[in-house]
Amino acid sequence: MPYKNLSLLAALASLLAFAGVSEAARLTRTPYLQSVTPTSALVAFRTDVDCAPRVRFGLGTDTSRIATAPATGRLHVVKLEGLQAGAEHSYAVEACGATTQPVRFTTATPPGSGRVRFAAVGDFGTGATSEISVGRTILSRKPHFFLGLGDGAYDNGTDSEHQTKLFQPLAPLLAEVPIYTTPGNHEYLTDKAQPYVDNFYLPTNNPAGTERYYSFDWGPAHVISLDSSCLLALGVAKGRCDQAAQRAWLISDLASTQQPWKIVFFHHPPYSSAAEHGSEVKLREMYAPVFEQYGVDMVLTGHDHTYERTHPMKGNTATAGGITYLVVGTGSHAKAFVPAQPSWSAMRSNRSAGYLDVIIEDGTLTGQMVTQTGAVLDTFQITKTLPPRPEQPVLSAEHSRGSSPLEVLLTAQTSQEGATLQWDFGDGQTAEGETVSHVYAEPGSYTVTLTATDGNQVLTHSLTVTAEATAGEPTSGTEPGTQTPPPSGATPGAPSEAVPDLGLEPSPQAGCSATGAGAWLVLAAPLAWVLSRRRRHE
């Protein structure tokens, strides 16, 4: 009888061990950044089993803060909040049995401030070695963000092609640099670009609430993505976008921005001397006057697998102070030009795969066409006279770190007389005035943001306040004031292709299986909401 009990216990132990091993998660898509702002960022990834993962993150090399999924799933989008504007942060994903090595990224600087660097290229989604080389070269120059100019998943823009032609070959880049994309004609070959929409988590600030066209600010730049298949009223786009609505939104968006630099990107080129496609004259005639009226500085496109830069153009004429149009369809293989170079074409090349590197600082925009090996094929500048920039408000705090409950005295100084001073304490509470005090009752790290508004000029400044737990006080890992929305019920279905090695290794959080994922929710409440969304059908 004792032997039977021992056998039963051994069998039970074996069964439990097998269950824990078989349900440990594996990342079928490594982390990629989306929709980074001055104070937040999205980290997206996929697992091969239903799991409730978490992301460790923090300022600099610190990863002590935690954002935890409120529900299990396979498609994960974790929002990191309370970040410091224009600063380097680190994050690492812990996915129920595995973890990634920490990687760094930089948050956006507030609108109207600072310097910005970005990369742009289209027609890269082949999975070829040239795409991998271009991605590696982009990462070596450490841009703040990356603009994908369409056709990022050949041949048909399916979910599996996004995985094998975009997320796998560009995994190291996308882990550190947020990608903002626009749909190309190849994305539209599958379900009117629905897989494209499902694979990205982009801004939704147009009236339709879609990701097919949108805008965002980063420092001094206002960047607009347009759906050119819709703008051209191409049949593949019917039913998924409205040409008139997009044009009306574009005009409203350009009219309302106060940013000194305006960049527009989409797929089909208004100007191109490539032999395969060439200029979309209809698009040029309809939208160039809008761009000119509202002071667009540069228009970036792909479609033709070439690099070409126009002279500054206005009304189809090369004119000082006009708009510079570029084709940067050089993400993989190049194609031919027509023999005669048009008079509006300032520089063109089809010699190498590469990308456009752009730096904006004060009144100067500098662009370079950089090949996959790092050689520079073209350099140009756009300059403008900008009005003097008001000094940023100065924010100081007494007792910004101490035991909870913690009372903090906050003082603002600004050169803007009569400006409205609005405080956001980072715990859901706000106040106005030059000097305010606030009590943080619960332990945690809080980002205090001061916003100074004077007419159309808006300036911000932030700092971190840390309320420490008193001796013997339990801590839950929860950021006070964070609200977690109910899960949207994401549909499992991550592709099972292998992913490149980004330092994936066994997690020190011992084997968190699908059945044990709920325990994380008890032990560590979320610092930030997580969107595990059911795929949208527009």
Q: Would you state the pLDDT for residue 23?
A: 53
**Angstrom distances, CA of residue 46 to CA of 72, 197, 199, 438, 466:** 12, 16, 11, 40, 33
Report how far residue 227's alpha carbon sits from residue 215's, in angstroms, rounded to the nearest whole number.
12
Find the radius of gyration of the CA atoms of the chain.
Answer: 25
Contacts of 435 (CB under 8 A, 6+ apart): 409, 410, 411, 412
Please name which of 38, 62, 43 lies closest in space to residue 53, comparing C-alpha atoms: 43
The model carries a pTM of 0.76
Q: Which helix (H) or strand (E) holds 271?
A: none
Which letter does DSSP use for residue 166 in this model? I
Quick check: 65 and 466 in contact, CB under 8 A? no
Burial class (CB in 10 A: 0-12, 13-18, 19+), 434: exposed
Q: Would you state the pLDDT for residue 472?
A: 55
Strands (E), 194-243: 214-218, 221-225
Report how far residue 147's alpha carbon sits from residue 116's, in angstroms, rounded to the nearest whole number.
13
pLDDT, one tens digit for every residue, the chain (538 residues)? 443 343 433 333 333 333 333 356 899 999 999 999 999 999 999 999 999 999 999 999 999 999 987 778 999 999 999 998 999 999 999 998 889 999 999 999 988 888 999 999 999 999 999 999 999 999 999 999 999 999 999 999 999 999 999 999 999 999 999 999 999 999 999 999 999 999 999 999 999 999 999 999 999 999 999 999 999 999 999 999 999 999 999 999 999 999 999 999 999 999 999 999 999 999 999 999 999 999 999 999 999 999 999 999 999 999 999 999 999 999 987 899 999 999 999 999 999 999 999 999 999 999 999 999 999 999 999 999 988 766 656 666 666 778 889 898 888 877 666 778 888 888 888 999 888 999 998 888 888 888 887 765 667 777 888 888 876 554 433 333 333 333 333 333 333 333 334 444 434 333 343 333 333 322 223 323 333 333 344 4
Q: Output phi, psi for 243, to 5 deg.
A: -60, -45
Neighbours of 8 (CB within 10 A): 10
Quick check: 85 and 129 in contact, CB under 8 A? no
Which letter does DSSP use for residue 188 in this model? G
In DSSP terms, 66 is beta-bridged to: 56
- The 3-class SS string of 486-525 reads CCCCCCCCCCCCCCCCCCCEECCCCCCCCCCHHHHHHHCC
Please state the separation of Cα 351 from the chain's center in Å: 30
Please name which of 275, 357, 306, 297 lies closest in space to residue 122, comparing C-alpha atoms: 306
In the block, which residue shows the tokens 């006279």?
385
Q: Would you state the pLDDT for residue 483?
A: 35
Q: Would you state the pLDDT for residue 524?
A: 29
Which letter does DSSP use for residue 198 in this model? H
Contacts of 423 (CB under 8 A, 6+ apart): 410, 412, 430, 431, 432, 433, 436, 438, 448, 449, 450, 451
Spell out the alpha helix ranges (H) of 89-128.
none
Contacts of 185 (CB under 8 A, 6+ apart): 150, 151, 229, 234, 236, 267, 268, 303
Report how far residue 262's alpha carbon sits from residue 298's, in angstroms, rounded to the nearest whole number.
7
Q: Token pair for residue 353?
A: 């795969």
Neighbours of 489 (CB within 10 A): 10
In the block, which residue shows the tokens 């070409």?
308
Q: Would you state the pLDDT for residue 465?
A: 85
Q: Would you state the pLDDT for residue 14?
A: 36
Strands 376-383 and 179-181: unpaired
In 3-state terms, what secondary structure has residue 94? strand
Peptide bond into 151 cis (omega under 30): no
**With the C-alpha atoms ordered 411, 414, 417, 421, is the resulting torsion angle positive or negative?**
negative
Quick check: 106 and 139 in contact, CB under 8 A? no
Report how far residue 429's alpha carbon sits from residue 409's, in angstroms, rounded to the nearest whole number.
15
Spell out the alpha helix ranges (H) of 119-272.
129-140, 159-162, 171-176, 194-199, 228-231, 243-256
Report how far residue 43's alpha carbon sits from residue 80's, in angstroms, rounded to the nearest whole number.
8
Report how far residue 33's alpha carbon sits from residue 91's, in angstroms, rounded to the nearest whole number.
10
Neighbours of 388 (CB within 10 A): 5
